[in-house]
């Protein structure tokens, strides 16, 4: 009996290589990469669409005049371009809204991550999400028709000086308050994320040593999550800088350099929105002003966002 | 316990008497105060939300009738005026946004989760860009839309699709981020098993990973759409500003309006009738958003229970 011999098929060698080149697969990967790189293209698009008209703008208006203290009135027959006045308006609105949003957001975050039980959290989380999801135009209506009139009717007119003057229909405080409430969920969600990232062992060690809940929250959790909390504050501020509808509807249209709660103000975003709503002639200096202000707005938020991104990365690096 | 020796009994009693009481004595006033402050700060948001909802219902409720949905806006007959063109406009704009963000957003998420090598510089550039785009003010996207889509390279003019593309760019990061999270949630063992059976990388992604990530992608898409539908500022710049008394011809031609823009235009008019109309419009918009958000929350709850 002949021993059976195993013959290896010569035409099909055993190999882990693909039996045929998969060109389709490469095309798909190329498409996927293209889709992902669209994010970069959009950023480039933003920069390009802002820079070119801004250069046109500075051909007619010198840089020194843009950053001078002259009043802001680019749409007047005799235009003036002191951008400080609307940057100041933005800063005023940021100040008022952050007085509400930062403490309330941080408090909400501590409550959500350290105090609320799972059932409570299940109720509060969607509520905060809904608060975040209400359209800004609805907040605008709320500020203009509800918050404004209520504050105006109950204004403490017995206060001395400027503070006692009754405001008009649109003023800083009404817009600032509503904007502050609007930003609470942004601050709260980023801050509570960073608190949840603090390891359980740290909490348990503190409780084991006899700390109270308040001590754990203020002396262990908040310091450990500090970079995340700072990031949440920075993101909240960035939202206040970039928010348009509430300030457009409820803060007024006067480019005032003021911090009085009863004064109307104009912010950078409100100027862009207001000018775009009216008839702007393509190519005129008023058209280019929108882009110059937009560039400034983009630069400010870009700086603020980069700070926030760096901070968020830091808290991730520590605990993940 | 009768057999317990006398010595043990003494030891137990000694231990009992010397045990530190673990429950606190008295009331921790500072702690309770702190808890009250925290509760107040979260209640501020919740109470404001309730006030806002009640306000919109009380102010706009009386005008919530069939005319609101079927009539053209009118300055003369304010009590039968509606916002049909805005509803049709928003439908066109949202349809265009949806058709743009789903394929692009999901593709980008697949690339970043399944294919991208995180150590390559260009992938890190994409990541940082995404994070930054998510926080760019919405009105800046309006400027981009005005310069690049309405005019400039695409030159579409002030049409509904220009609004779609502008909003799509704005909410793209939302879709990408949530799709990535849900793709990341698919267990790696499934991928390994599929690859070990001889499937190619794309076959694994398409037939194993994607079907399992659908609920998460859906949730992210709904959230992105709910952000886009209420957005006003960028649309002001890309043309949804005209007081239109007619329906848009199509997504690619003719003037258009959108629900939030119409609300804004009514709200800034001095007459009381228009303010009521604005509040009624806001009520419709909020109801629509609550519905979309609840679907998203329900989907997420259902999905997280399964895995």
CB-nearest partner of B267 from A104, A105, A249: A249
SS3 labels along B242-304: CCCCCCCCCCCCCCCCCHHHHHHHHHCCCCHHHHHHHHHHHHHHHHHHHHHHHHHHHHHHHHH
- Mean pLDDT for all residues in chain A: 85
Q: Least CA distance to B146: which residue of chain A? A: A49
Mean pLDDT of all residues belonging to chain B: 84
Using alpha carbons, select from A8, A74, A117, A11 the residue that is nearest to residue A280.
A74
- Binned at pLDDT 50, 70 and 90, residue A121 comes out as confident
pLDDT at A162 over 90: no
Residue B46 has pLDDT above 80, yes or no: yes
- pLDDT, residue B41, reads 92
Alpha-carbon span B131 to B124, nearest angstrom: 11
- Ranking A159-163, A248-252, B124-128 by mean pLDDT, the lowest is A159-163
* pLDDT(A13) > 90: no
Instruction: Measure the CA–CA gap between A246 and A240, rounded to whole angstroms.
Output: 10
Q: Do B126 and A32 touch (CB under 8 A)?
A: no
Which range, of B108-112, B147-151, B204-208, B221-225, averages the lowest pLDDT?
Answer: B147-151
State residue B166's pLDDT score. Answer: 92
User: Cα distance from B190 to chain A (closest Cα, Å)?
Assistant: 20
B161: nearest Cα among B87, B240, B56, B267 = B240
What pLDDT is recorded for position B22? 56
Chain A interface disruption, residue of B20, B41, B117, B198, most A CBs within 10 A: B41
Distance CA B12, CA B4 (A): 11
B255: buried, middle or exposed (CB in 10 Å: 19+, 13-18, 0-12)?
buried
Please identify among residues 215-274 of chain B the ones whose CB lies closer than 8 Å to any CB of chain A.
223, 226-227, 229-233, 236-237, 241, 260, 263-264, 267-268
For residue A112, list chain B residues with Cβ-Cβ distance below 8 A. Answer: 42
Q: Mutation test of the interface with chain B: which of A14, A49, A57, A109, choosing the one with the most B Cβ atoms within 10 A?
A: A49
| B152 in reach of chain A (CB within 8 A) | yes
> Does pLDDT of A317 surpass 70?
no
Residue B180 pLDDT more than 80? yes
Percent of chain B at pLDDT > 70 equals 89
Among chain B residues, CA nearest to A25? B202
The whole-angstrom separation of Cα B34 and Cα B38 is 6
Percent of chain A at pLDDT exceeding 90: 28
Mean pLDDT of A116-126: 87
The answer to whether the Cβ–Cβ distance between A32 and B232 falls below 8 Å is no
Give Cα separations from B186 to B104, B113, B210, B234 (angstroms). 20, 11, 9, 36
For the stretch B6-15, pLDDT in tens is 777 777 776 6
Nearest chain A residue to B151, by CA? A282
CA distance A274 to A268: 10
Query: Cβ–Cβ of B275/A282 closer than 8 Å?
Result: no
Residue A8 has pLDDT above 60, yes or no: no
B277 contacts on A by Cβ (under 8 Å): none
- Write out chain B residues lying below 8 Å of A245, CB-based: 232-233, 264
Cα of B136 to nearest chain A Cα, Å: 7
Task: Name the strand (E) or helix (H) holding A80.
Answer: strand A80-81
Q: Locate the chain A residue with the closest alpha carbon to B28.
A: A212
Which residue does chain A place closest to B284, by CA atoms? A138
- Determine the average pLDDT of the residues in B33-50: 92
pLDDT at B186 over 80: yes
Nearest-by-Cβ selection for B138 from A45, A103, A244: A244
pLDDT for A9 equals 55
Across the interface, which of B55, B147, B264 has its CB nearest the CB of A137? B264
Query: Which percentage of chain A shows pLDDT scores above 70?
Result: 90
Distance from the Cα of B6 to chain A's closest Cα (Å) equals 34
| Higher local confidence (pLDDT), B14 or A40 | A40
CA triple B282-B288-B294, angle to 5 deg: 130
| Cα–Cα distance for residue pair B221/B227, rounded to 1 Å | 10
Q: Establish if B111 touches chain A: CB-CB under 8 angstroms.
A: yes
* Angle (nearest 5°) at CA A178 between A289 and B176: 70
Q: Is the pLDDT of residue B255 over 80?
A: no
Which residue from B35, B44, B263 is facing A104, i.e. has the nearest CB?
A: B44
User: Tokens in use for B164?
Assistant: 């779609």
Who has greater pLDDT, B268 or B18? Answer: B268
A15-19, A186-190, B156-160: least confidently modelled range: A15-19
Please indicate whether residue A34 or residue B73 has the higher confidence score (pLDDT). A34
Task: Decide if pLDDT at B16 tops 80.
Answer: no
Q: Residue A43 is encoded by which pair of tokens?
A: 């950023």
The mean pLDDT value for A229-248 works out to 90
B127-140 pLDDT, tens digit per residue, is 888 888 888 899 99
Reply yes or no on whether the pLDDT at B288 is more than 70: yes
Inspect the interface and report whether the beta carbons of A272 and B48 lie closer than 8 Å: no
pLDDT (0 to 100) of residue B164: 92
Mean pLDDT, range A295-306, rounded to an integer:
90
B169 at A interface, C-beta within 8 A? yes
Whether the Cβ atoms of residue B164 and residue B100 lie closer than 8 Å to each other: yes
User: Any idea which of A2-6, A31-35, B217-221 has the lowest mean pLDDT?
Assistant: A2-6
Chain A residues with CB inside 8 Å of B118's CB? Answer: none
For A243, the 3-state DSSP assignment is coil
**Chain A residues inside the 8 Å CB shell of B180:** none
pLDDT digits (tens, 9 = 90+) for A260-295: 888 888 899 999 888 876 555 566 777 888 889 999
> What integer pLDDT is reported at residue B1 of this predicted model?
46
- In this structure, of B130-134, B239-243, B290-294, the range with the lowest mean pLDDT score is B239-243
- Report H helices in chain A: 23-60, 63-66, 84-110, 118-133, 136-142, 148-153, 172-196, 200-208, 213-215, 222-224, 226-242, 245-250, 268-277, 285-319
A305 pLDDT above the threshold of 60: yes
User: Helices B121-133 & A23-60, crossing angle to 10 degrees?
Assistant: 60
CB-based contact (8 Å) between B135 and chain A?
yes
In this prediction, residue B223 carries a pLDDT of 87
| Interface A:B, Cβ pairs < 8 A | 269
Stretch B36-52: mean pLDDT: 92
Kindly state the average pLDDT of the residues B185-210: 91
Please indicate whether, in this complex, the C-beta atoms of A308 and B229 are within 8 angstroms of each other: no
Chain B environment of A108 (Cβ under 8 Å): 38, 41-42, 45
| Cβ-Cβ contacts under 8 Å, A25 against chain B | 200-202
| Residue environment code for A259-275, b if the CB has 16+ CB neighbours within 10 A, otherwise e | ebbbbbbbbbbbbbbbb
Contact A213 B31 (CB under 8 A): yes
Q: What ipTM is given for this predicted complex?
A: 0.84
CB spacing of B137 vs A298 below 8 angstroms: yes
Closest to B42 in 3D by CA, of A101, A30, A199: A101
Q: What is the mean pLDDT of residues A131-140?
A: 91
């Amino acid at each position: 009996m002949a021993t059976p011999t195993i013959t290896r098929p010569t035409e099909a060698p055993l190999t882990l290589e693909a039996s045929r080149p998969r060109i389709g697969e490469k095309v798909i990967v190329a498409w996927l990469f293209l889709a992902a790189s669209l994010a970069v293209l959009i950023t480039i698009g933003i920069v390009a669409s802002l820079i070119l008209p801004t250069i046109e703008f500075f051909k007619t208006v010198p840089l020194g005049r843009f950053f001078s203290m002259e009043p802001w009135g680019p749409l007047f027959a005799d235009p003036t371009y002191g951008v400080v006045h609307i940057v100041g308006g933005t800063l005023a609105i940021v100040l008022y809204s952050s007085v509400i949003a930062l403490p309330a957001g941080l408090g909400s975050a501590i409550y959500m991550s350290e105090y609320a039980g799972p059932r409570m959290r299940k109720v509060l989380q969607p509520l905060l999400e809904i608060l975040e999801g209400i359209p800004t135009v609805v907040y605008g209506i709320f500020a203009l028709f509800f918050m404004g009139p209520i504050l105006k009717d109950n204004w403490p007119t017995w206060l001395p000086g400027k503070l006692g003057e009754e405001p008009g229909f649109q003023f800083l405080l009404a817009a600032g308050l509503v904007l502050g409430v609007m930003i609470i969920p942004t601050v709260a969600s980023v801050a509570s994320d960073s608190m949840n990232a603090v390891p359980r062992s740290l909490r348990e060690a503190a409780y084991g040593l006899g700390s109270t809940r308040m001590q754990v929250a203020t002396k262990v959790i908040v310091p450990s999550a500090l970079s995340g909390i700072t990031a949440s504050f920075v993101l909240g501020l960035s939202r206040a800088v970039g928010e348009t509808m509430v300030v457009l509807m409820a803060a007024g249209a006067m480019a005032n350099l003021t911090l009085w709660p009863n004064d109307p103000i104009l912010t950078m975003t409100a100027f862009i929105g207001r000018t775009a709503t009216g008839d702007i002639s393509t190519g005129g200096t008023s058209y280019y002003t929108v882009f110059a202000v937009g560039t400034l707005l983009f630069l400010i938020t870009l700086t603020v966002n980069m700070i926030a991104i760096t901070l968020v990365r830091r808290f991730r690096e520590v605990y993940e | 316990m009768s057999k317990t020796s006398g010595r043990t009994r003494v030891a137990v009693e000694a231990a009992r008497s010397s045990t530190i009481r673990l429950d606190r004595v008295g009331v921790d006033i500072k702690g309770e105060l702190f808890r009250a402050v925290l509760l107040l700060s979260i209640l501020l948001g919740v109470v404001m939300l309730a006030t806002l909802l009640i306000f919109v219902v009380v102010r706009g409720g009386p005008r919530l009738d069939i005319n609101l949905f079927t009539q053209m806006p009118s300055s003369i007959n304010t009590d039968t005026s509606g916002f049909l063109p805005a509803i049709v406009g928003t439908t066109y704009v949202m349809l265009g946004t949806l058709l743009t963000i789903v394929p692009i957003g999901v593709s980008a998420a697949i690339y970043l989760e399944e294919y991208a090598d995180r150590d390559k510089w260009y992938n890190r550039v994409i990541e940082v860009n995404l994070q930054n785009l998510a926080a760019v003010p919405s009105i800046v996207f309006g400027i981009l839309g005005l310069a690049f889509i309405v005019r400039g390279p695409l030159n579409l003019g002030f049409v509904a699709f220009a609004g779609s593309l502008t909003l799509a760019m704005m909410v793209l990061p939302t879709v990408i981020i949530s799709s990535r999270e849900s793709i990341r949630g698919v267990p790696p063992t499934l991928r390994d098993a599929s690859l070990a059976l001889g499937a190619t990388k794309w076959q694994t992604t398409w037939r194993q990973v994607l079907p399992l990530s659908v609920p998460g992608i859906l949730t992210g898409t709904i959230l992105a759409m709910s952000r886009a539908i209420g957005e006003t500022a960028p649309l002001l710049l890309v043309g949804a500003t005209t007081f239109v008394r007619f329906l848009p011809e199509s997504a690619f031609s003719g003037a258009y309006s959108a629900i939030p823009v119409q609300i804004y235009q009514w709200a800034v008019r001095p007459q009381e009738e228009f303010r009521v109309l604005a509040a009624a419009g806001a009520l419709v918009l909020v109801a629509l958003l609550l519905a979309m958000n609840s679907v998203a929350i329900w989907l997420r709850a259902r999905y997280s229970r399964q895995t």
